Structure 1
């Protein structure tokens, strides 16, 4: 597994995305899949940056692994922020207009819809969110 650890701030999203793209390109990842993973990285890291630590800040580690049978990319996000399982959040009602819909939740909803698997656990004082996408 290849990993990158950065301060959990929005300014580091591009750094993590570039790291991911280099790995995905080396495996010949299709452009559509890479774009979906880039969007997921943006959404998940944004949530961690804005909500996990509060004012004191903290770190986030993002790990990348390519698995075989089936061939898929596995991205693991790990932080020591406030315990939070984004998969428990109710999906937004996308049939409502933007004005009538509650604020929040659309980013994680998009990630859930674009990935093939997602899981969350809180272990050893860490939030661990895993997304998987078939290649």
Structure 2
């Protein structure tokens, strides 16, 4: 498993994407969407001091673990009745979590040692 330590700044997303692509040997659109949604949510809402991302790829299974010391938040508990509302509606939020749940093959979450651990499992062709 390879790891990268990132600052909770949105400009670190390029570094993270490059790290993931290096593991996969090529870009995967669904993986990129998942990574961007999770990373942006952590940066924008968690009040974390750091983000660690662990990646393991054993064809065809990609496992990505996001670790942060921000506010405890389990995105798996967020429920949806269906796809999020239209972009032009007044309420914002939730679309990234919904998208991640739809695209990932498996999601796991636990809170340990004052850290959020979100594990994404995705089969990549």
User: TM-score normalized by structure 1?
Assistant: 0.83
Deviation at 1:12, TM superposition (A): 0.4
In 2, the alpha carbon distance for the partners of 1:52 and 1:58 equals 9
Q: Higher Cα Rg: structure 1 or 2? A: 1
Change (3 A) 1:16 1:128: same
- Whether the aligned pair in 2 keeps the contact of 1:2 and 1:65 (CA below 8 Å) is yes
Greater per-residue helix proportion = 1
Deviation at 1:97, TM superposition (A): 3.7
- Conserved in 1, the CA contact under 8 Å of 2:67 and 2:117? yes
Number of corresponding residues: 124
Residues 1-135 of structure 1 aligned to structure 2 (within 5 Å): 1-25=1-25, 34-53=28-47, 58-67=49-58, 71-91=60-80, 93-94=82-83, 96-100=85-89, 102-135=91-124
The alignment's TM-score, normalised by the length of structure 2, stands at 0.89
The verdict on how the C-alpha distance between 1:49 and 1:95 changes in structure 2, with shifts beyond 3 A counting, is: closer
SS of the residue 2:53 aligns to: strand
C-alpha change, 1:51 and 1:115, in structure 2 (3 Å) is same
